[in-house]
Amino acid sequence: MSAAPREEAVAAVLRALPADLAERVLARLSPGVATRLRSRIRSAPASAPAGQIDDALREIADVQRIADRPPPVVGPNDDPVKALRAAAPDRLVAALLGEQPRTIAVVLSCLDQTAAADLLKRLPPAVRPKVALLLGRPAPPNPDLLGRLARAVLDRCRAGAAPAPPPTADDRARRVAAMLRALDRTERLAALKRLEETDPDTAAKVAQHLYQFEDLLRVEGRQLQLILGETDLKTLAMALQDAPQPLTAKVFANLSTRARETVAEESSLMGTLPKAKVEAARAGILAVLRRLEEEGTLSLDG
């Protein structure tokens, strides 16, 4: 078939087969793919992590199911990605209900960030974390697979063809973070924790974008004081460089007179800082914000 699941999934299944049967399967693949799969099989640990085989089989079944769908009759100039973006959210959600999380994740990856976040919120609560987890993985690179899926979804919501370019790892992390930000605190933290357990590298990238410096504007005054109380004043002065005026004003309003004077003095002495230093200072403050939210001491939900 022209569409293909991830090679990690195929290798996981082949590792579970008897060696002679796995070799018969490999012999039917192209030499390049077979060589890569043999390398994955040799370098894999002796025993697969719990649930890996089941997950791999589900992924292969999902891809096969999507690839086997006959495309609906469409005009020569139709564009499924453009039509998906124009589809009414209610119809799009209705078309996706009952679909596998992987299918939903592929559809969301075709939408703009705001629409995807809105669609994620409309999904059943039990499905959201699974879809968020899959959004952190690379989308199927095969244009035919994406085209078939888009057309099938469009046919179900009565809407109509070229897939969007595959996003980079950072693009995917930003997209997942934006969608998680649309969830309430409990669901947001649960989805991030599950992502950390299954894919720590992607989770780390998502966490970098999940909390933004401007989020301090969403924190109530007394809670903001807790964050500022754990922040070195020189670090705070660095973080506030080129910050939006409303944010700077809110921070200063929650500092003591002496602390405000110290921050102002530090700011006047340090001059223009490299962007990397400013971002590092902000990251330190956001680490405190995240920890306090995870502890339940504060919330960004209002």
- Three-state SS across the chain? CCCCCCHHHHHHHHHHCCHHHHHHHHHCCCHHHHHHHHHHHHHCCCCCCCCHHHHHHHHHHHHHHHHCCCCCCCCCCCCHHHHHHHCCHHHHHHHHCCCCHHHHHHHHHCCCHHHHHHHHHHCCCCCHHHHHHHHCCCCCCCHHHHHHHHHHHHHHCCCCCCCCCCCCHHHHHHHHHHHHHCCCHHHHHHHHHHHHHHCHHHHHHHHHHHCCHHHHHHCCHHHHHHHHHCCCHHHHHHHCCCCCHHHHHHHHHCCCHHHHHHHHHHHHHHCCCCHHHHHHHHHHHHHHHHHHHHHCCCCCCC
Rounded to an integer, the average pLDDT of 135-148 is: 65
- 273 phi/psi in degrees, rounded to 5: -100, 155
Q: How many residues does the chain have?
A: 302
Greater model confidence, 222 or 24:
222
Q: What is the mean pLDDT of residues 21-28?
A: 76
Of 1.10.220.30, 3.40.710.10, 3.90.1520.10, 2.60.40.10, which CATH number belongs to 80-209? 1.10.220.30
- Residue 42: pLDDT band with limits 50, 70, 90: confident
- Note whether 183 and 191 are within 8 A (CB): yes
In CATH, the number for domain 212-295 is 1.10.220.30
Q: Which phi-psi region, left, alpha or beta, contains residue 158 (left: φ > 0; alpha: ψ -120 to 50)?
A: left
Confidence band, pLDDT 50/70/90 cuts, at residue 130:
confident
Q: How confident is the model at residue 55 (pLDDT cuts 50, 70, 90)?
A: low
For CATH 1.10.220.30, the residue range(s) in the chain are 80-209, 212-295
pLDDT digits (tens, 9 = 90+) for 254-286: 999 999 999 999 999 988 899 999 999 999 999
- The closest alpha carbon to 262, from 288, 286, 238, belongs to 238
- pLDDT for 173 beyond 50: yes
Instruction: Report the C-alpha gap between 234 and 262 in whole angstroms.
Output: 8
Q: Which residue has tokens 């085989």?
A: 53
What mean pLDDT is predicted for residues 106-118? 85
Cβ partners under 8 Å of residue 138, min gap 6 = 6, 166, 169, 172
Residue 43 in this model has a pLDDT that exceeds 70: yes
